[in-house]
Amino acid sequence: MSTGRRITIEGAAGRFVTVVTFLTVFGAVFVIGAADVTGARALHGIGSTKTYAADGHLLSVKNAEAMPHGLASRLARALQPPEISCSPTEGRGTLCIESSPLPLAQRIATWERRLGTAAALAVLVALAAGWLARRVVGRRLQAMSGVLLRAVREHDYSQRVADTGALAASMNALLEQMQERDVVLRRRSADLEAANRELESFAYAVSHDLRAPLGSIDGFAQALAADLNGDAGESSRESLRWIREGCRQMRELIDGLLQMSQLTRAELQAAEVDLSAIARSVAGSLQQRSPDRRVTFRIREGMRTTGDARLLRAVVENLMGNAWKFTRDRDDAQIEFGIRDSAGAAAYYVRDNGAGFDPAHAARMFRPFQRLHSQREFEGTGIGLATVQKIGARHGGRAWAEGDVGKGATVYFTTAAAGAGSESAQRPMPANQG
């Protein structure tokens, strides 16, 4: 409400019943009093009696009871103005009688007192009726809202409001619609999950079954090259090299598919995970793999979250491995693993100053087999970031990327357990150079 006071439905109902009850009780008493006063207008009292002689001299005066002062007297005079009637006497004199609205004033004064009492009683009755109405309406609304809250909390829209009336019927109709939509949504979700499981099983089976024939092709090509030795021409040797290179790339794709399938299908083992320690371990492995490269690593300390340690390690390995790969042409290569606030949640990121990418194609990076660089520029299968996205989704988070061509890239990921107020966000970031 714009007035700053929250007026509930039961409060409004209580006020309405209070006002109506007061007007009804007091109005009934007022109507009865008005009818009685109207009938009392026919009553006339005697205000004064004066006797005059035949020559006009006043012989005697007799005054009746004086009119009281107040609202009753003024109202009586307005409703019944005094009248004077004269008649001859036996002694040839004149008798003049002036009427008085005293009986009407007394009746009005009586009803004035009665209306005051009636107003007090009407207030008490109205307050009691309003309180009772508020309790009755409040209990009914509380019961209805309880049904709705349970339905939303338990996702069970088969519950119904056990009440009558238009409001209860509307709520039941709404619950029925929600139940129908929930059934449809659950059916579609189940179908989608089943299709995803079948697709993952198919991809796993196909990838696994392709390894044997691919190994045979590679082995026969190697044996053929050994048999021919120096007898084959340059063109034949080049063709055999391309066959073996194709086999190598296919093996990498199959390994990537198998890894993605295994990681995304594995059961989550939730525990506290030290992401900073994982990042240091991955950085050490990358430096041992290429000890001649000089890369500066900046890893923020104290970054922890809750999740599956094996899956989160795969995320860090993929992201830092990509950063290592795309900075190989940089003399001053830098790789940073840190944390920042994103819409109230902690977002972990891996940033590099490598080749970067066209930001218009950022969404494509997380689709399987989608590569933004050619195989000649940078090797890869296009599976790594898709795996990162799937693992992030399994942890209740997401992944996204920012960057520009020639200016490096930053890939972010979140988990449901990541809080915005992490102490690690305030700690200094040491630089390790390998």
Extract the tokens encoding 169.
Answer: 């019927």
Give tens-digit pLDDT for 58-110. 777 776 666 667 777 777 777 778 777 788 877 777 778 777 777 777 777 78
- Looking at every residue in the chain, the average pLDDT score rounds to 78
Burial class of residue 319 (count of CB atoms within 10 Å of its CB; 0-12, 13-18, 19+): buried
Question: Is residue 293 predicted with pLDDT exceeding 90?
Answer: no
* Helix and strand element counts for the chain (H, E): 8, 12
**Nearest-angstrom CA–CA distance, 312 and 303:** 12
- The CATH superfamily label for domain 269-433 reads Histidine kinase-like ATPase, C-terminal domain (3.30.565.10)
pLDDT at 68: 65
Burial of 30 (0-12, 13-18, 19+ CB in 10 A): middle
Instruction: Identify the burial level of 7 via C-beta atoms within 10 angstroms of its C-beta, where 0-12 means exposed, 13-18 middle and 19 or more buried.
Output: exposed
pLDDT at 375 over 70: no
pLDDT in tens, 325-359: 888 888 888 999 999 887 778 899 999 998 888 88
Q: Which residue from 323, 342, 272 is spatially nearest to 302, judged by alpha carbons? A: 272
- Per cent of the chain over pLDDT 70 is 81
Strand intervals (E) in 238-303:
270-274, 295-299
- Per-residue pLDDT of 138-184, as tens digits, reads 777 777 777 778 877 877 778 787 776 777 788 788 888 888 888 88
What is d(CA 151, CA 159) in angstroms, rounded to the nearest whole number?
7
Residue 323, φ and ψ in degrees, nearest 5: -60, -40
DSSP H or E run through 414: none
Residue 112 confidence (pLDDT): 78
Question: Are residues 175 and 162 in contact, defined by beta-carbon separation less than 8 angstroms?
Answer: no
Segment holding 374, helix H or strand E: none
Q: 349: part of which helix (H) or strand (E)?
A: strand 345-352
